[in-house]
Amino acid sequence: MEFGPGDARCYVAKASWRFAKTMPQWPHQYTVRAWRPDLEEGFCAFASLIRTEGVVKPWPRDAAMPRYRHPYLELDGWQYWTMSPVIEEVDVINRARLDDEEYRP
């Protein structure tokens, strides 16, 4: 079964998102797989969509030696990313507003 942008929107609407208060200098939100066991299938499918359809960008974008290079999936004014390339190991999905210059890769 294919998981596309419409499915992603449904998952995003159901997931619980929290502000990453330990990193206020890079404002973003996150959701944790374990918070909603009932959405496990959607979490994994969305993480896979991010990894396969996202565009790889360096972060921080203006660094001479970027710390990360992750796929970012843009959807409805947000960009989503995961930290692990192995879907089975992903336990957090992050997101930041595309219009937020502080975080943009």
Segment 45-59, tens digit of pLDDT: 999 999 999 998 877
Q: What integer pLDDT is reported at residue 52 of this predicted model?
A: 93
CA distance 26 to 49: 24
pLDDT tens digit sequence for 24-53: 888 899 999 999 999 999 999 999 999 999
What are the residues whose beta carbons fall under 8 Å from the beta carbon of 25, sequence distance 6 or more? 102
Q: What integer pLDDT is reported at residue 105 of this predicted model?
A: 53
Q: What integer pLDDT is reported at residue 26 of this predicted model?
A: 81
Q: What integer pLDDT is reported at residue 80 of this predicted model?
A: 97
What are the residues whose beta carbons fall under 8 Å from the beta carbon of 101, sequence distance 6 or more? none
pLDDT tens digit sequence for 67-103: 778 899 999 999 999 988 888 899 999 999 998 765 5
